[in-house]
Amino acid sequence: MDEAPQRLVAVLIRDLIFETKITSTAGLLGVSVKIIRSAGELAGILDQGVVGLVIVDLNTAGPTAFEAIRLAKTHSGVRVLAFVSHVDAELAAKATEAGADEVMPRSRFSAQLPALLSALGSQKDSGSGHKTV
């Protein structure tokens, strides 16, 4: 019997250095990641039912960040994690208002990234057929 495939991590980010950090960490852990640039792109993969976590970089995603958070929360079982510069309390508050499950400073997100991705990697979804991106 085949093991159920992993859930996908969708990442809304425009910072190429941090994007590389996320994708390389995910690759080492065997976690599927899809980098997205817009809420419309997120909508397409959410409708496939394979997304378990949406990560949003509040500092680089702009207004799309809040649209993406609200969109993700309309899908059952999708967790939203947003990160932001520790000095930007206003963006953090707006993300919480939009429905983010957790908002954390960029430094904490960076330090906890392997654990965050590992936790999702241990959650399986039945029947999606998605493979590592």
Find the mean pLDDT for residues 45-59.
93
Residues 10-47 as b/e (b if ≥16 CB within 10 A, e otherwise) read bbbbeeeebbeebbebbeeeebbbbbbeebebbbebbe
Q: Report pLDDT for 101.
A: 96
Structure tokens at 89: 């309390």
Supply the pTM of this predicted model. Answer: 0.86
Confidence grade of residue 119 (pLDDT, cut at 50, 70, 90): confident
Q: pLDDT tens for residues 59-78?
A: 987 889 999 999 999 998 99
Return the pLDDT at 88. 86
Query: Which pLDDT tens digit goes with each residue over 8-36?
Result: 999 999 999 999 999 999 999 999 999 99
Domains and CATH numbers, the chain: 11-105 (3.40.50.2300)
